Amino acid sequence: METTAPATSDAAPTIARMQGINKWYGTYHALRDIDLQVASGERVVICGPSGSGKSTLVRTVNLIEPFQQGRLKVCGVDVGADEITRAARREVNRRVGMVFQQFNLFPHMTVLRNLTVGPVWGSGIARNEVEELATHYLERVGLMDQAHKYPAQLSGGQQQRVAIARALCTRPRLILFDEPTASLDPEMVNEVLQTMESLAAEGMTMMIVTHEMGFARRVADRMIFMDQGQIMEVASPNDFFDRPRSPRLKTFLGRVLTH
């Protein structure tokens, strides 16, 4: 693996650390010896070809996906491969937000209810406090006027912005984004990216899987390139795009930057 950027900022504490993480789906080796640290306030963008392990990596960070070897410490929760309990998952979910490719909103609930149901039941936050947070974050993503509509009444871009607001309602220390614009029509992509850029500007710690390379160059502190379940290259955005070292990254960039 080629690395041209520091693992974390010298000043900021580490918010997530993966050490020797290996994961299999049956006989398929999905993650291979992953070692990665993310500092508080850092924006890390992960890219690579389909099937490279990007989504599996971020889903492992919040324990949606278990792993079979290695150790993970995220937002103060420290677990080994054989120590992943329901309590550990619950604690991680309270501290780590997640935005999926599919919006995963409850279709039978209003926008406001979608934002409040998780924190009330999962985080133990009082309902009135959650409703204040939900109102704040709906205003934050420009959708307060949609609070009493249902997901089917919103555009795809609006639904994804609701999903971002929902992730923020648990007041996470880290937000994971798993290809958040992949299901959107092209004209809706920019409104979601603008919301994410504003979060980055406010110092939110973010791990982002995306093929939006212009966005990545503007937002990322570090770029990570994955292939075949491995981290192949880690670099600053300028080095990543202008001075790629590995042949696999050069080939990948040659393909995605010409589309």
For the stretch 247-257, pLDDT in tens is: 999 999 998 88
From residue 58, how far is each of 46, 142, 164 by CA, in Å? 9, 27, 16
Average pLDDT, integer, range 23-50: 97
Question: What pLDDT does residue 258 have?
Answer: 73
Q: What is the pTM of this model?
A: 0.91
Question: What pLDDT does residue 212 have?
Answer: 94
Tokens of 139: 């205003």
Question: What pLDDT does residue 11 have?
Answer: 66
| Among the ranges given (98-107, 124-133, 169-178, 223-232), the one the predictor scored with the smallest mean pLDDT | 124-133
Report the alpha-carbon angle 15-241-183, nearest 5.
70
Q: What is the pLDDT of residues 189-238, one digit of tens each?
A: 999 999 999 999 999 999 999 999 999 999 999 999 999 999 999 999 99
Q: Per-residue confidence at 127, pLDDT binned at 50, 70, 90?
A: confident
From residue 231, how far is each of 20, 33, 117, 164 by CA, in Å? 12, 9, 36, 27
Nearest CA to 60 out of 9, 14, 104, 98 is that of: 98
Q: Identify the three-state secondary structure at position 132.
A: helix
Nearest CA to 209 out of 195, 219, 194, 198 is that of: 219
| Among the ranges given (84-93, 114-123, 199-208), the one the predictor scored with the smallest mean pLDDT | 114-123
Q: Exposure pattern of 179-215 as b/e (b: 16+ CB <10 Å)?
A: bbbeebeeebbebbbebbeebbeeebbbbbbbbbbeb
Average pLDDT, integer, range 59-76: 96
**Residue located via tokens 């690395």:** 3
Question: What pLDDT does residue 4 have?
Answer: 43
Question: What pLDDT does residue 1 have?
Answer: 54
Q: Identify the three-state secondary structure at position 149.
A: coil
Question: What pLDDT does residue 231 have?
Answer: 97
Q: What is the pLDDT of residues 141-170, one digit of tens each?
A: 999 999 999 999 999 999 999 999 999 988
88 compared with 123, residue with greater pLDDT:
88
Rounded to 10°, the helix 111-118/156-168 angle is 30
